[in-house]
Structure 1
Amino acid sequence: MKKFRGNYSHTLDEKGRFILPSRFKEVLLESEAASVMMTRMDRCIFVYTIEEWEKIEDRITSLPTTSETMRRFRRIFIGGAFECPFDKQGRILIPVPLREYAQLDRDIVLVGEARYFEIWSKTLWENENLKMECDLAQPEARAEIAALGI
């Protein structure tokens, strides 16, 4: 199974569409669906194949809903998801509520996360990179990463 890897700078057109990088398109072509699922978290958009989304949705909906936090997470993560088709040119339209949430204007960055990819505004992605540099200055963070064998 191919995975989403790397990061790519792109631009949104006036309708809020972007062109899939060819490496991401290869992953999506393994899927029989002509669409992806998009949802929101961490001020970015998470994009899943339909098959991967169904696995996540099943895991989330099988959890008990006694926790107010989990109910809220489920409500926002699943309830705020959109099925988004891609066209013959490999473009995907990002729905307005997701563009507003992730503060997407024109310049975006697509970030591969193996089983899914994220869409960030260029500015928020640059801020995320700066936060990681600050995290790496902390001994606890360095130890957590070192435990991965990296």
Structure 2
Amino acid sequence: MARFTHIIDAKGRVFVPARLRESIGGSLIVTLSLDDGYLSAYTPENFRSIRDQINQLSGTDPAVRRFKRAVLGEAMVCELDSQGRISISDELWSHIQVKPGEEICFIDMFDKLEICSKAFYQQQKEEQGSLSEVDLSRFDVKGI
């Protein structure tokens, strides 16, 4: 797991860190995150799994339909170009309040990448404090 910072170019493109390119293949599916201030980027394989799970939910539930619109309806395929960049739409960039020339962070979450503005990441880090202030026992993760 790691965090990488890059600048959005004038065309809305951003370099995907070389270390991450090796594991994602030729494209990413980028969509809204469940957390405000973030985009989520998935390999096509991981996104298919998520899409299949979402499609199993009841289409008669208005909350499910809103959820589908947010996650599936906003998703876009972002192909890596020959220089290792992806192009993300202005609309998706606006969801995390960034524009060309600004810095963003890629956060490697193993099953996906989270993308947010560098300023937002730093703000979240300051607000969250240290891990020692959080009761991690409820997560039941062994070896930490």
TM-score for both structures, normalised by structure 2: 0.87
Aligned-partner Cα distance in 1 for 2:67–2:104: 25
Query: For residues 1-150 of structure 1, what are the structure 2 equivalents within 5 Å?
Result: 5-29=1-25, 34-41=26-33, 42=35, 43-105=37-99, 106-133=102-129, 137-138=133-134, 141-145=135-139, 147-149=140-142, 150=144
| Aligned sequence identity (%) | 29
Task: After the TM superposition, list the runs of 4 or more consecutive aligned residues in structure 1 that deviate by more than 3 angstroms.
Answer: none
Change (3 A) 1:66 1:94: same
Unaligned runs of 5+ in 2: none
Q: Any unmatched runs of 5+ in structure 1?
A: none
CA RMSD in angstroms, aligned pairs only = 1.8
Offset of 1:24 from its aligned partner? 0.5
Find the aligned partners of 1:27 and 1:135 in 2 and give their Cα distance: 28
- Count of matched residue positions in the alignment of Structure 1 and Structure 2: 139
Distance 2:132 2:94 in 1: 30
> What TM-score, normalized by structure 1, do the two folds share?
0.84
- SS of residue in 1 equivalent to 2:120: helix
Amino acid at match of 1:58: D
Shift of residue 135, structure 1, vs aligned partner: 7.6
Q: Secondary structure at the match of 1:108?
A: strand
